[in-house]
Amino acid sequence: MTHVRNAAMALVALLLVVAGVWASWASAQHVLLGKGREHGTLTVTACGEDACSGPYVPGDPGAERRTLSIGRSVAAGPGMTVPVVVKPGTDEGVRAGWGGGLHAWLPLGGALLLAAPLVGGGLRLPRTAWSLAGLGGGLLVATFFAL
């Protein structure tokens, strides 16, 4: 019975971490694999509840200028100029640089924090649990200071 409980706890913890990676990859791929993608800067002029928008100035002088939107949590507010990577085929940007990269991995940080009690209490691996919690918490704190 103990093996079944340990297997169930390990499966749930693994599922949490995989879900965190899956959720993070939607934005992280544009920041991490930005080579060959359109880069530029976005000057935030207006913010709604979920997103901010403004004029986009491409890094390539021959590219078209247009209006882009970006998630409100990474835009900081009207008047800010933010480096962005444009999602292919959309008018949506993802914040570039360290701040954008760390922000993209926030779901993974939360998943690591959620998995830590399962690993510590359920699997009785306290050192591993503290490592997971430290990594997740460190990611959240680093993102807070980077943005």
Q: Can you count the helices (H) and strands (E) in the chain?
A: 5, 6
Question: Measured between alpha carbons, how far is 132 from 113 in angstroms, rounded to an integer?
Answer: 7
Taking residues 63-68, report their average pLDDT.
Answer: 86
Domain boundaries, the chain: 1-34+105-147, 36-95
Provide mean pLDDT across the span 57-75: 84
Comparing 113 with 77, the larger pLDDT belongs to 113
> What is the per-residue pLDDT across 84-117, written as a single tens digit (0 to 9) for each?
999 988 989 999 989 889 999 999 999 999 999 9
- Given a cut of 80, is residue 66 above it in pLDDT? yes
Buried b / exposed e along 23-48 (16+ C-beta atoms within 10 A): bbeebbebbeebeeebbbbbebeebe
- Residue 23 pLDDT more than 90? yes
User: What tokens appear for 87 in the block?
Assistant: 């999602």
Name the pTM for this structure. Answer: 0.85
CB 108 within 8 A of CB 25: no
Class of domain 36-95: mainly beta
The DSSP letter of residue 96 is: -
